């Protein structure tokens, strides 16, 4: 546990050689550090990174936060009053980097984590050496929207028992996820959820409060245009939760950014995507060197 100030402690796990370049991984909405699968982290360690994965505030073992979550009307109208903002999450990350990697780190974020990663690079530029934005958007309100047929996914409530919740989540990832998902990918979901349930300190509604922060996101385009660092933007052509226009707009906004559109990838990270992702992160970090 690392105290980053303002009453927030973040649960952090480090993997690899402490002398290797740091890579900070930011996961998506309501998902703790265990959703960065162990095998994927091991592949990044093998590429010479000191991997740092952590729980955002209000998720996992990091500091729980109280407050309301958005209801159906707020979700459908995409308007909510957040308990905390994406900027708050980015400042958590910036203060964390100042402690664990004061000379800077490469940063990679997925979905909500990509929004936070972008804000971290904007707000704490001296601590971010390279940026990998996965399933992201610039927050301009026009690009990277949720496809209408996917919006009911945010209104579904699953079973409360662990086994039922796991199968419900497997079904969700099959609907929002990539082509060629395998039984191993489904098992990854079951394992990660079981680990998440054992680790959760809060009321289980942190994902909802993080969703409110997403609904209230600000336009990051101007800030992205000021970035001067190697950047990789990864997006799936099959993503219906953050439409591919979000990735294209992000890459257009950041000077010199590389856009990697993965054919058949949805709003998930199945194992068949990992080699291209690991290669891309390593390639982008090498540009910083």
**Which distant-in-sequence residues (6+ apart) come within 8 Å of 229 by Cβ?**
121, 125, 128, 129, 130, 131, 288
What's residue 207's pLDDT? 86
DSSP letters, 233-264, are: EEEETT-SSS-THHHHHHHHHSTTPEEEEETT
DSSP 151: G
**What's residue 78's pLDDT?**
64
Q: Is 215 helix (H, G, I), strand (E, B) or coil?
A: helix
Task: Answer whether 32's CB lies under 8 Å from 201's CB.
Answer: no
pLDDT in single tens digits along all 289 residues of the chain = 999 998 999 999 999 999 999 999 999 999 999 999 999 999 999 999 999 999 999 999 999 998 877 666 555 556 678 889 999 999 999 999 999 999 999 999 999 999 999 999 999 999 999 999 999 999 999 999 887 676 666 656 666 788 888 898 898 899 899 999 999 999 999 999 999 999 988 888 888 899 899 988 999 999 999 999 999 999 999 999 999 999 999 999 999 999 999 999 999 999 999 999 999 999 999 999 7
Q: Are strands 12-15 and 22-26 parallel, antiparallel or unpaired?
A: unpaired
State the burial class of residue 171 (Cβ atoms within 10 Å of its Cβ: 0-12, 13-18, 19+).
middle
Residue-level pLDDT at 158: 67
**pLDDT score recorded for residue 134:** 98
Q: How far apart are CA 20 and CA 250, in angstroms?
A: 29
Tokens representing 158?
A: 């699953």
Distances (CA, A) of 94 to 88, 101, 197: 10, 10, 27
The pairing of strands 8-10 and 2-5 is: antiparallel
pLDDT for position 150: 62
Structural domains in the chain, sorted by start: 2-288 (3.40.50.1820)
* pLDDT of 157: 67
Map residue 201 onto helix, strand or coil: coil
Q: What is the DSSP string of 169-192?
A: HHHHHHHHS-TT--HHHHHHHHHH
With a CB cutoff of 8 Å and minimum separation 6, the contacts of 120 are 26, 90, 93, 94, 97, 107, 127, 128
The alpha carbon torsion through 240, 245, 247, 252 (nearest 10 deg) reads 180
Given a contact cutoff of 8 angstroms between Cβ atoms, the answer to whether 256 and 248 are in contact is no
Radius of gyration, alpha carbons of the chain: 17
Q: Residue 46 class from Cβ within 10 Å (0-12 exposed, 13-18 middle, 19+ buried)?
A: exposed
Handedness of CA 157, 162, 164, 165 (dihedral sign): positive
Q: Which residues contact 108 (CB under 8 A, 6 or more apart)?
A: 23, 24, 25, 26, 117, 131, 132, 134, 281
pLDDT of residue 226: 97
pLDDT value at position 205?
83
């Amino acid at each position: 546990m690392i105290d980053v100030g303002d009453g927030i402690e973040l649960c952090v796990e480090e993997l690899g050689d402490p002398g290797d370049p740091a890579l900070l991984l930011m996961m998506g909405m309501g998902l703790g550090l265990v959703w960065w699968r162990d095998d994927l982290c091991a592949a990044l360690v093998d590429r010479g990174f000191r991997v740092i994965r952590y729980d955002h505030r209000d998720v996992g073992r990091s500091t729980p936060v109280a407050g309301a979550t958005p209801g159906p009307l707020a979700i459908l109208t995409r308007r909510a009053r957040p308990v905390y903002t994406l900027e708050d999450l980015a400042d958590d990350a910036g203060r964390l980097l100042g402690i664990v990697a004061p000379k800077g780190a490469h940063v990679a974020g997925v979905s909500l984590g990509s929004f936070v990663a972008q804000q971290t690079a904007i707000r704490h530029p001296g601590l971010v050496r390279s940026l990998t934005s996965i399933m992201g958007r610039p927050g301009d309100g026009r690009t990277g929207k949720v496809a209408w047929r996917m919006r009911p996914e945010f209104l579904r409530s699953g079973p409360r028992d662990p086994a039922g919740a796991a199968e419900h989540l497997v079904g969700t990832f099959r609907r929002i996820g990539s082509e060629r998902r395998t039984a191993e990918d489904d098992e990854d979901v079951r394992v990660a959820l079981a680990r998440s349930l054992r680790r959760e300190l809060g009321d289980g509604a942190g994902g909802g409060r993080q969703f409110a922060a997403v609904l209230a996101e600000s336009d990051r385009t101007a800030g992205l245009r000021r970035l001067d660092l190697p950047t990789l933007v990864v997006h799936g052509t099959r993503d219906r939760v953050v439409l591919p226009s979000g990735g294209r707009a992000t890459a257009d906004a950041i000077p010199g950014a590389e856009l990697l559109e993965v054919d058949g990838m949805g709003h998930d990270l199945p194992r068949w995507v990992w080699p291209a992702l690991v290669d891309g992160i390593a390639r982008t970090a090498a540009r910083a060197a």
